[in-house]
Amino acid sequence: MKKTLLLLLIIPAISNAQFKDILAKAKEKINTVTNSNSSLDIAAGLKEALNKGVSEQVFKLTATDGFYKNEAVKIVMPEELAKLDKTLRKMGMSKLADEGILVLNRAAEDAVKEATPIFVTAIKNITITDAKSILLGNDNAATVYLQSATTTSLYAKFNPVVQQSIGKVGADVIWANIIKQYNTMPFVAKVNPDLTDYVTQKALDGVFKMITVEEKNIRTDINARTSNVLKKVFALQDKK
C-alpha cells in the first residue's frame, strides 16, 4: 500500500487534456509516416510509368521505319519546302521526293538511339513534390515534365548525331541533288534549309508524342497498369 502511494506521488497524474494531446501527437506521427510512404509510392509509380513509356514507345522509334511508317511521327518535307515537294512531283520526280523524305526519317531513327540515357537520368531526378503534381495533372503531365527536363540535353545530343546520320544514310547527297535541281528551275525562290536542325526538332517531337501515348494509356486503361505499383498509384489518380 505504501509502495503504491509512493508511486502515485512520483508519477504525476495525466489530465484528460494531456492525454488527448499525447494521442494527437501519436496520430500525427503515424499520418506523417503513412503520407511519407504514400509519397514514395507515388514517386515510384510515376518513374515506372515514364520508364515504361521510354522502353515501350521510344525504343520503337529506333527501329527501321520507326518514324517512316508511323504516321503519328513521320517526318515530311519542311513546310518551307512544301512547294518544292509539289514541284518535284509535277516534274515527274516523285521518286526523288520520296527518297528525300525517307532519308530524313532514317536520320531521326538513328538519332533517337541516343535518347535513353538522358531520359533515365531525368526520371531518376523526379522529386516527391513533382510526382504528386504530375499524378494529379493532365493526361500528359509526366511527359510535359520530362520534356522540360530533357529537351535541352536531348537537342545537344541529337543534333550532331543527326548531322552524322544524314551523311551516313546518304541524305546529304540526295538533298543536295534535290535542292540543286529545284534551285535551277525558273521562277522559284532559292532554298537552302537547315536539315540538321529540322530533323533534330522533328525527332524530339516524335519522341515526346510517343511517350504521351503510353502515359495516356496508363492513365486511362487499367489493363495497361502492369505492376502493383502502377495499379496502386494510378488508382489514386482515378479518384481525383
For residue 26, the model assigns a pLDDT of 37
pLDDT tens digits, the chain, 240 residues: what are they?
444 444 334 444 445 554 345 434 433 433 333 343 477 788 888 888 888 888 888 889 999 999 999 999 999 988 777 777 887 788 888 888 888 899 899 999 988 888 888 888 888 888 888 888 888 888 898 899 889 989 999 899 889 988 888 888 888 888 888 888 778 877 777 777 788 999 999 999 999 999 999 888 888 888 888 888 888 877 777 666
For residue 200, the model assigns a pLDDT of 92
What is the 8-class DSSP label of residue 69? Answer: T
For residue 34, the model assigns a pLDDT of 33
Write out the three cell numbers for 231.
495499379
For residue 16, the model assigns a pLDDT of 52
For residue 52, the model assigns a pLDDT of 85
DSSP labels for 80-124? GGHHHHHHHHHTT-HHHHHHHHHHHHHHHHHHGGGSHHHHHHHHH
3-state secondary structure 44-59: HHHHHHHHHHHHHHHH
The domain limits of the chain are 37-238
